[in-house]
Amino acid sequence: MPKIVDHDSHREEMLDRCFDLFAEKGFGNVTMRDVARELDVSTGALYHYFENKQAILEQMLILQGRRDVEEALRRMAVTGSFEERLKIFFDFFKDSEARFRKLFMLSLDFLRNAKSESSRSIVYRWAEYYVSNMEKYLSIPKEMAQFIIVFFNGVVYQAMLFPETISVKDQMALFSEVILSFLREHADPKNRLCRRCPFITDK
Amino acid sequence: MPKIVDHDSHREEMLDRCFDLFAEKGFGNVTMRDVARELDVSTGALYHYFENKQAILEQMLILQGRRDVEEALRRMAVTGSFEERLKIFFDFFKDSEARFRKLFMLSLDFLRNAKSESSRSIVYRWAEYYVSNMEKYLSIPKEMAQFIIVFFNGVVYQAMLFPETISVKDQMALFSEVILSFLREHADPKNRLCRRCPFITDK
Amino acid sequence: MPKIVDHDSHREEMLDRCFDLFAEKGFGNVTMRDVARELDVSTGALYHYFENKQAILEQMLILQGRRDVEEALRRMAVTGSFEERLKIFFDFFKDSEARFRKLFMLSLDFLRNAKSESSRSIVYRWAEYYVSNMEKYLSIPKEMAQFIIVFFNGVVYQAMLFPETISVKDQMALFSEVILSFLREHADPKNRLCRRCPFITDK
Amino acid sequence: MPKIVDHDSHREEMLDRCFDLFAEKGFGNVTMRDVARELDVSTGALYHYFENKQAILEQMLILQGRRDVEEALRRMAVTGSFEERLKIFFDFFKDSEARFRKLFMLSLDFLRNAKSESSRSIVYRWAEYYVSNMEKYLSIPKEMAQFIIVFFNGVVYQAMLFPETISVKDQMALFSEVILSFLREHADPKNRLCRRCPFITDK
DNA sequence: TATGAATGAGAATTCATTCAT
DNA sequence: TATGAATGAATTCTCATTCAT
């Protein structure tokens, strides 16, 4: 019984330790030997913990996705005005940019290598969970929560592909300004959701 | 007399015909055999037109990127109010979403498989060219042009990974509204560029 | 009919022009494309003159071997004392060293790639012819003629493999001295062949 | 516990077991599959022991060359008169003719396929070592040691290419006679080296 | 005849996975 | 459990040869 626990925690440690490797080189460009070397184990040992290479990717995505959500929830424990809460989200993104970048790449690798539709649902659920928490925390419509995440992912892509032509910081600042401006403008003075467009309901 | 083949045009046709294959399965998951089968030629013939597999990816990205810019320039020939011009851009994006999705994936594959830094500059220049044309056409600051592209890419990613949880159409509509609202609000009544933030100068 | 002649002479010219290529890189390391490029013709044209790649090697060996024998016979037209005639032979070798080197390499390539025993006889006959002419010209026993050729080939090998550690000139001089010394010592005063050992019968 | 394999000794065994294959067919005519079949292993296993095909050739040449030198040194442990010592050399050559033939062919393959000049130095050093040991053992000048080796190589070539027209035994006997005759004739009665020509200093 | 694009078998090499120890 | 040698199918790429034009 304790063995099992050890096994699982060992597995998680392994997934952490080769997260960068997969993210940087890409699933297809990493060999099991690379992984074994990185983790300082034999290739054979790898197969004690993971059924096959694909399983590493899947479990890695699940684990890191979970880590991400946990960290998000931790940050969302803090309350305050809408602006403050939105800022927490932006800060979370800025602080976690490196991990987001890796998750971003891994999710695409996963998508392309996923054998079954059912395995893709792993990612779908993760996104769903994320959005619904944002919705509640920021008191914004689902559509707007998705809107924010869309932008974040756009920044991650742009920063990865054109690191020299884009300033993540500036783009984030601009986005913050744009979205706050929009939400304020559409705020219902009677504090109700506007039917025509998504907006904020703040106390 | 041998069969006269316009190498360059044949090459382009080939690149067009296997664009989808690469985009969907990913560079690493496509074999030269796959490509040959798709193009209905022998593997050997492939090597008459492309030095190696990597070269296919590179030339494909260059070609499709060029196609994209050409189409964008064609659309930008139309003039009108800022709103009209912005709409043209949004329509362009909506119409080309399928191609953007493919370029999006290929650009990432390219990034991960590019051997030299110099080959990456191919992508950099493409992005640069794109942004500077938007800048001129829409009379918006560079930062804002990048902002729009960032969002587009975010939508592409989101739609690819979570096709069921996101409505591209709705996100685009929301983005249009948000950005127009922002730009209008910051429009300088005296028709000059505001220093503090990027905005629109429309007649 | 004249076509045939042209054809043959053209073939010979081609064989001359790619002799170096084969000798330097080796049969297996030369592609038909290489040959075509060297001769400034298409690969298809090559197949009008030669049945296949192997045939080029065979015909090249026959032609260059014949050239060699012809040149040898030309030189052997000169008469004189034994020393003078031997010198002619040594000079011939020194002058033709570059060609010998090439024939040396080609003959080994030929040996290894020859499909049938019968095709090898090409080389055997060439050697036979060579030796019997030396025999007559120098009035030495066959064994001694072979002895000289053996040494020449040894020098070719050594010079090719260890160009910096061996002096062809010095080795040739030494060999000349050694062989003359031996032959003189064993010369039969009554001008007859000594039974016990091969030697020279000079007038 | 994994199977414990002495990599180096296994590698040597492999090199021994496919020496003939390479020598007979030639580097270019042997496929990795051939090698694997000969050694009764999978092609993949081959790559555990050798980086690539070229490496097999190189290491084979180094190993067999070393073997050769070791055997030569073993034989040179015996002392005696000059004639006796020379005979030991001739016997060594006769006994090792089959291996010499193989080394001869491999050295040429090596020469033609060697990528860098530095890798050629492998062969140069081997020759150097050989000659300098002969020099010491037989008390003959370097030039004369080279002379003997040149002849040996000539015999190897001739016997390989014209097995039916040449008698190795006879050629060797003749060479022995010729060289002894020469050396005796030039022996300095006062036991000193003659300036004009290389010769023997025997007690 | 000449061309050179096309063919496709076959080469070297890689790598996920297995399994004897 | 752990090891890492071994497997062999699959991959990229080459090249002698063919053949439509």
pLDDT digits 0-9 by tens, B85-98? 999 999 999 999 99
Among candidates B111, B113, B151 on the partner chain, residue whose Cβ is nearest the Cβ of A161 = B111
Residue nearest to nucleotide F2 (CA to C1'): A45
Residue D7: per-residue pLDDT: 81
Q: Which residues in range 33-92 of chain D are in contact with strand E, contact meaning CB within 7 A of any of its atoms?
A: 33, 43-44, 47, 52-54
CA of C41, C1' of E6: distance in angstroms: 18
Residue B115: per-residue pLDDT: 76
* Through-space distance between the first and last CA atoms of chain C, rounded to whole angstroms: 50
Question: In chain A, what residues touch B21 (CB-CB under 8 Å)?
Answer: none
Q: Which residues in range 46-105 of chain A are in contact with strand F, contact meaning CB within 7 A of any of its atoms?
A: 47-48
C127–D162 CB contact, under 8 Å: yes
Name the residue with higher pLDDT: D80 or A31: A31
pLDDT category at C189 given cuts 50, 70, 90 is low
Check the CA dihedral B49-B51-B57-B60 and report its sign.
negative
Question: Over 60: is that where the pLDDT of C191 sits?
Answer: no
Per residue, the 3-state secondary structure of chain D, as one string, reads CCCCCCHHHHHHHHHHHCHHHHHHHCHHHCCHHHHHHHHCCCHHHHHHHCCCHHHHHHHHHHHHHHHHHHHHHHHCCCCCCHHHHHHHHHHHHHHCHHHHHHHHHHHHHHHHHCCCHHHHHHHHHHHHHHHHHHHHHHCCCHHHHHHHHHHHHHHHHHHHHCCCCCCHHHHHHHHHHHHHHHHHHCCCCCCCCCCCCCCCCCC
CA angle D187/D191/D192 to nearest 5° reads 90
How crowded is residue A26: how many other Cβ atoms within 10 Å of its Cβ? 22
CA of C140, C1' of E14: distance in angstroms: 61
- Give chain D's domains with CATH numbers: 60-191 (1.10.357)
Residue D201: per-residue pLDDT: 46
Residue nearest to nucleotide E4 (CA to C1'): B2
Among candidates A112, A174, A177 on the partner chain, residue whose Cβ is nearest the Cβ of B25 = A112
Q: Of D67, D135, D150, which is closest to residue D103 (Cα–Cα)? A: D67
Question: Over 90: is that where the pLDDT of C198 sits?
Answer: no
Asked if B47 CB < 7 A from strand F, the reply is: yes
Q: Range with the lowest mean pLDDT among A113-117, A151-155, D178-182?
A: A113-117
- Work out the percent of chain B whose per-residue pLDDT is above 70: 89
Question: Over 90: is that where the pLDDT of B121 sits?
Answer: no
A197–B185 CB contact, under 8 Å: no
pLDDT category at B198 given cuts 50, 70, 90 is very low
CA of B113, C1' of F8: distance in angstroms: 27
Under 8 Å CB pairs connecting chains C and D tally to: 133
Give the C-alpha separation, B162 to A124, whole Å: 6
Question: Over 50: is that where the pLDDT of B196 sits?
Answer: no
| Min distance C112 CA to chain D CA atoms (Å) | 6
Asked if B115 CB < 7 A from strand F, the reply is: no
Helix segments in chain B, DSSP class H: 7-17, 19-25, 32-39, 43-49, 53-75, 82-95, 97-113, 117-138, 142-161, 168-185
State both tokens at A197: 């467009």
Residue C162: per-residue pLDDT: 85
D150–C151 CB contact, under 8 Å: yes
Residue D3: per-residue pLDDT: 52
CA of B203, C1' of E16: distance in angstroms: 64
Q: Which residues in range 48-87 of chain A are in contact with strand E, contact meaning CB within 7 A of any of its atoms?
A: 52-54
Give the C-alpha separation, D141 to D126, whole Å: 18
pLDDT category at A6 given cuts 50, 70, 90 is low
Neighbours of chain C (3+ CB pairs under 8 A): D
> Among all strands, which nt has the closest C1' to D39 (CA)?
F6
Under 8 Å CB-to-CB from B147, ≥6 apart: which residues?
A171, A174, A175, A178, B179, B198
Q: Range with the lowest mean pLDDT among B110-119, B140-149, C3-12, C177-186?
A: C3-12
Give the best-scoring range by mean pLDDT among B119-128, C17-26, C134-143, D126-135. C17-26
Name the residue with higher pLDDT: C163 or B108: B108
> Among all strands, which nt has the closest C1' to C29 (CA)?
F15
In angstroms and rounded to an integer, the radius of gyration of the C-alpha atoms of chain A is 20
CA of A168, C1' of F4: distance in angstroms: 45
Give the C-alpha separation, C77 to C173, whole Å: 23
> By the 8 A CB rule, do D90 and D176 touch?
yes
Rounded to an integer, the average pLDDT of B143-150 is 92
Residue nearest to nucleotide E16 (CA to C1'): A32
Question: In chain B, what residues touch A27 (CB-CB under 8 Å)?
Answer: 28
State both tokens at A189: 């003075």
Among candidates D27, D161, D164 on the partner chain, residue whose Cβ is nearest the Cβ of C107 = D161
pLDDT category at C103 given cuts 50, 70, 90 is very high
D143–C174 CB contact, under 8 Å: yes
Averaged pLDDT of chain C: 85
Question: In chain D, what residues touch C111 (CB-CB under 8 Å)?
Answer: 160-161
Question: Over 90: is that where the pLDDT of C63 sits?
Answer: yes
CA of B33, C1' of F11: distance in angstroms: 9
Among candidates B108, B127, B146 on the partner chain, residue whose Cβ is nearest the Cβ of A171 = B146
CA of C114, C1' of E2: distance in angstroms: 30
Residue D197: per-residue pLDDT: 45
What pTM was computed for the model? 0.88
Minimal-distance CA residue of chain D relative to C127: D162
Give the C-alpha separation, D18 to D48, whole Å: 16
Q: Which residues in range 34-53 of chain C are in contact with strand E, contact meaning CB within 7 A of any of its atoms?
A: 41-45, 47-48
Chain A interface, mutation test: which of B106, B157, B184, most A Cβ atoms within 10 Å?
A: B157
CA of C43, C1' of E2: distance in angstroms: 10
Residue B52: per-residue pLDDT: 95
Residue D200: per-residue pLDDT: 47
Among candidates B127, B157, B181 on the partner chain, residue whose Cβ is nearest the Cβ of A165 = B127
User: What is the signed CA dihedral for A90, A95, A99, A103, rounded to 10 degrees?
Assistant: 0
pLDDT category at A203 given cuts 50, 70, 90 is very low
C-alpha to C-alpha distances, B27 to A104, B37, B109, nearest whole angstrom: 17, 16, 6
Asked if D10 CB < 7 A from strand F, the reply is: yes
Which positions in strand E are less than 7 Å from the protein's CB atoms? 1-21
Question: Over 50: is that where the pLDDT of A115 sits?
Answer: yes
Chain D interface, mutation test: which of C174, C179, C186, C200, most D Cβ atoms within 10 Å?
A: C174
Element (H, E) at A37: helix A32-39
pLDDT category at C28 given cuts 50, 70, 90 is very high
Q: What is the pLDDT along chain D (203 residues), one digit of tens a residue?
A: 445 557 888 999 999 999 999 999 999 999 999 999 999 999 999 999 999 999 999 999 999 999 998 999 899 898 888 889 999 999 999 999 999 999 999 999 998 888 777 777 878 888 888 888 888 888 888 899 999 999 999 999 999 888 877 889 999 999 999 998 888 877 655 544 444 444 444 43
Among candidates C111, C170, C198 on the partner chain, residue whose Cβ is nearest the Cβ of D143 = C170
